[in-house]
């Protein structure tokens, strides 16, 4: 083999060794100092800041929990309007919903106020006390009772008086609320007071059938 060929092969071997020596540390350093690997192993996830909406929701849940065990929402609803508002009152207060169910349900014909209907006959009779289906709503453990009903001829339906007169309400607070197209709640309060012996009866509030949760929340908050 001539001298020029030996020199060429020698230079090639030396070049290959240089590549191997330089490349190996590079691979090791890349694996050891990879930003991705470093960040995943040395940094812990940061806590997500609590948003204003989360804080409001937590405080609202706390406020409602304060009513648990001390409030009840009792209602009578013949058409579903009062039931809808009662559900919103329960959401606002944390009180448990309890319905006054008539033993004989009211049919649409019973509520035709332009005729000699059942509702008219009951409201015209001071002694009428329609029967309640068993069991009647129990409020023994409640300190505050939100009492909902529709307004029939400016007054509470007689079945509401049936329920009130059958309860031991001494020392409790009753907060009436009603639904009606136009009549206020004021005309129903004296009868509620008379039937709720020993209880404190608040002035109450009238809602339309389309009352929103915000409207109900504002009312409840205003009584705190």
The average pLDDT across 200-207 equals 96
Tell me the pLDDT tens digit for each residue of 46-99: 445 556 555 454 444 434 433 344 999 999 999 999 999 999 999 999 999 999
Q: Say whether pLDDT at 102 is over 60.
A: yes
Region of 205 (left: φ > 0; alpha: ψ -120 to 50; beta: rest) is: beta
Ranges of beta strands (E only) in the chain are 71-75, 96-99, 144-150, 173-179, 200-201, 205-207
Contact residues for 187 (Cβ-Cβ < 8 A; gap 6+): 151, 154, 155
pLDDT for res 50: 54
Neighbours of 39 (CB within 10 A): 9
**Start-to-end Cα distance in the chain:** 107
Rg (CA), the chain: 37
**C-alpha closest to that of 175 among 136, 144, 210:** 144
Round to whole Å and give the CA distance between 107 and 110: 5
pLDDT for res 30: 40
Q: Say whether pLDDT at 27 is over 50.
A: no
pLDDT for res 19: 36
Tell me the pLDDT tens digit for each residue of 127-186: 999 999 989 999 999 999 999 999 999 999 999 999 999 999 999 999 999 999 889 999
User: 124 pLDDT band (50/70/90 cuts)?
Assistant: very high
User: pTM for the whole thing?
Assistant: 0.70
């Amino acid at each position: 083999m001539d001298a020029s060929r030996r020199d060429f092969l020698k230079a090639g071997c030396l070049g290959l060794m240089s590549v191997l020596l330089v490349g190996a540390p590079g691979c090791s350093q890349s694996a050891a100092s990879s930003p991705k690997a470093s960040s995943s192993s040395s940094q812990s996830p940061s806590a997500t800041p609590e948003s204003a909406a989360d804080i409001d929701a937590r405080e609202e849940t706390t406020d409602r929990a304060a009513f648990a065990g001390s409030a009840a929402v009792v209602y009578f609803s013949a058409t579903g309007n009062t039931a809808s508002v009662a559900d919103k009152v329960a959401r606002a207060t944390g009180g448990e919903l309890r319905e006054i169910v008539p033993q004989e349900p009211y049919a649409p014909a019973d509520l035709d106020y332009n005729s000699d209907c059942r509702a008219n006959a009951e409201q015209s009779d001071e002694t009428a006390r329609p029967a309640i289906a068993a069991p009647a709503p129990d409020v023994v453990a409640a300190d505050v009772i939100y009492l909902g009903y529709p307004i029939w001829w400016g007054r509470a339906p007689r079945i509401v008086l049936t329920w009130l007169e059958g309860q031991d309400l001494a020392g409790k607070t009753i907060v009436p609320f009603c639904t009606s197209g136009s009549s206020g709640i004021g005309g129903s309060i004296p009868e509620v007071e008379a039937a709720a012996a020993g209880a404190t009866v608040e002035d109450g509030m009238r809602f339309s059938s389309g009352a929103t949760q915000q409207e109900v929340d504002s009312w409840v908050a205003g009584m705190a």
